[in-house]
Amino acid sequence: MPAFRPEERLIAVIAGMLDGLGHVAVGASSPIPGAAALLARRRSRGALQVSLLGSRRNNPFTDGGRELFDCAAQGRIDAFFLGGAQIDGQANINLVGIGHYPESKARFPGSFGSSYLYFLIPRVILFSQEHSRRVLVPRVDFVSAPGISADNVYRPGGPFALVTNRCIFTFDKRARRFRLASLHPGERVESIAEHTGFEFERPAEVPETPAPTDGELALMRGAVGEEVAEVYPAFAERIWNIRSAAAET
């Protein structure tokens, strides 16, 4: 039985996707990507700048989303994270609703700046903790943010990978489809296909998603966890039994 939690594996894997970058921004309600960014900064000895929206300690923006959008337009953000109620095989995401719009049978908060950031930020990592045919669909019901664009469209940004609770996909921009990169323990190519609504590339050999190192676990369970607790106190307490300073007072 592994001596770490599944969330810690995902945090370490995502942190590895941020190696060598200069600036990563993390939106709201993203504890695992947020922890991954903070871990990557610790591993880089502070070389990586992290802008964690909702944080007082790790958010340099004083004007909310507008500064984030300005930085993205200036090419000053290297990575960002997006999710969706639906994600399809061309990396389109749906944040609007299920069913034919505008008669959607279920409605969600909306797109906000997802499409704008998707076009501008070079390394957009998609993230979903539910890997099922309900979420990973053949075609999204509503395209909140498109994963691909016509060849004559200037687009420096786009999908880099899709991280789920079952596996890791990378996105092949030339083929315009996902490629299975690694399997979490207990998963097989067949189980991924069973729970995925879109077709994807399947290499002959698919490695297991690597486990976090002892050093990464020490950081997560110490300094990184304490930073995460400021923004996501329930997550930090559930995963690492770390309580925020505010909760202690």
The terminus-to-terminus CA distance of the chain in angstroms comes to 36
Structural domain that includes position 202: 6-248
User: Does 176 map to a domain?
Assistant: yes
Does the pLDDT value for residue 236 go beyond 50?
A: yes
Is the per-residue pLDDT at 223 higher than 80?
yes
Supply the pLDDT for residue 247: 54
Each residue's pLDDT tens digit, 63-81: 767 889 999 999 999 999 9
Q: What is the average pLDDT score of the chain?
A: 93
Question: What pairing do the DSSP bridges indicate for beta strands 167-172 and 177-183?
Answer: antiparallel
Mean pLDDT of 6-20: 97
Looking at the domain assignment, is residue 140 inside a domain? yes
1 within domain boundaries:
no
pLDDT digits (tens, 9 = 90+) for 33-59: 999 999 999 999 999 999 998 898 998
Q: What is the pLDDT of residues 92-138, one digit of tens each?
A: 999 998 888 887 888 887 788 899 999 999 999 999 999 999 999 99
Compute φ and ψ for 169, nearest 5 degrees.
-110, 145
Assign residue 219 the CATH number of its domain: 3.40.1080.10
In a domain? residue 169: yes
Task: Indicate the pairing of strand 159-164 with strand 167-172.
Answer: antiparallel
Q: Where are the alpha helices (DSSP H) in 81-212?
A: 114-120, 189-194
Number of domains in the chain: 1
| Residue 1 reports pLDDT greater than 60 | no
- DSSP-assigned letters across all residues of 178-216: EEEEEE-TT--HHHHHHT-SS--B--S--PBPPPPPHHH
User: Is 0.85 topped by the overall pTM?
Assistant: yes
pLDDT for res 248: 52
- Residue 31, in any domain of the structure: yes
What are the C-alpha distances in Å from 185 to residues 17, 168, 188? Answer: 20, 12, 9
Is 70 contained in some domain? yes
Distance CA 158, CA 211 (A): 27
